[in-house]
Amino acid sequence: MIRKTVSVFDVPSQEARQAFIALEKRPDIHDATIASLDCMNTVRIGGADLSTPLAFPFTVAAWNLERCLFPLESAEKLRKTGAPLVLLSEMDEGMARTGQADPTAIVAGELGMAYAYGIEFLELSLGSEIEHSFCKDDFNEKGFHGNALMASTPLKDPFVFRLPGEGKWFKDSNEQPRVGERCAIGATVETEAGPFVAVSVHLESVADGPYRERQISALMDAVEAYAPGLPILIGGDLNTGNHSGGDYRTDTLFAMAEARGFECHGGPLDQTSTRPSLITRFPERAMKLDWIVCRGLKISESHLVSSLNEEGKPLTDHDMIVCTVESFA
């Protein structure tokens, strides 16, 4: 678990990033490359300076923003939920496809929240062929892509946990070469009734159910060691059923989580959480990927919020999962 915090990441040079593309694609080389990069071993913190704890009941929103092409519109949709705790995944920083911007800082600034951000991948290209159409530059200033946790209360002792993986994106055959593994961003959050741990996570898409079960089981182990006995809320894109038939019920992580005392909330079970977007143009693909998993907290309801704006434009290929936390269980 990574607990070193910074306000600004160290940025690998363009030359270093190009050199990574030519590396031999072996697991030990991949692991050593990750370990050598300061930016992959720190948590970036920023946003508002806050002091008020959360009061029950409160809303939690988890949303995969698919690079976050539209930070201002996304922030406005989040604001309308009234959520004081926000879990985001697929957030760029210094990528040409998102205007070299820092969408995490923009969204947190619009919402008046504190944030913690961790890098999932160091992107070594401009992204997919479709994403090239969004690029005005032919280079990435930073090449960071990761996940974020935001709150209208202080985020205490933030951490990044890199999930166990097999370097699935570190391959010569990959059109989007990357260094990194999926990760989770967490922190201790205070309420008027005491603390709990909140975690934003993104599980692997190009994998099967047992692979993702191993990832979230390792995350649960790490969080339990980080804050023994505290209630836990984990939310985000769990990629359930992705690349393994599309049926979330085939993923074994649900049974494992329930055996460990966790509840899984994803809104109506017959309602999928993905849709075609400006980047992901697959009208026939609809899956239920997004969940909130908790233990020691009472959730009264969960639902999905459409990612379409008022004009019908998709802000991302995922709808937002929103839940109401009533109290400690």
Tens of pLDDT along 262-297? 999 999 999 999 999 999 998 788 999 999 999 999
What is the count of structural domains for the chain? 1
Alpha carbon distance 34, 13 (integer Å): 15
Q: Which domain holds residue 197?
A: 5-328
* Lookup: tokens for 144: 């960071």
Give the confidence band of 243 by pLDDT, cuts at 50, 70, 90. Answer: confident
Q: What is the mean pLDDT of residues 235-241?
A: 97
pTM: 0.96
Angle at alpha carbon of residue 158, lines to 318 and 29, rounded to 5°: 75
* Beta bridge partner(s), residue 184: 161, 201
Q: Roughly how many angstroms between the first and final C-alpha of the chain, as a whole number?
A: 27
Across the chain, mean pLDDT equals: 96
**Of the candidates 237, 225, 78, the residue with the CA atom closest to the CA atom of residue 150:** 78
Alpha carbon distance 61, 83 (integer Å): 6
CATH number, domain at 65? 3.60.10.10
Give the confidence band of 208 by pLDDT, cuts at 50, 70, 90. Answer: very high
Q: What is the mean pLDDT of residues 21-29?
A: 94
Element (H, E) at 145: strand 144-151
Whole-angstrom CA distances from 62 to 129, 189, 198, 202, 244 are: 27, 16, 11, 11, 23
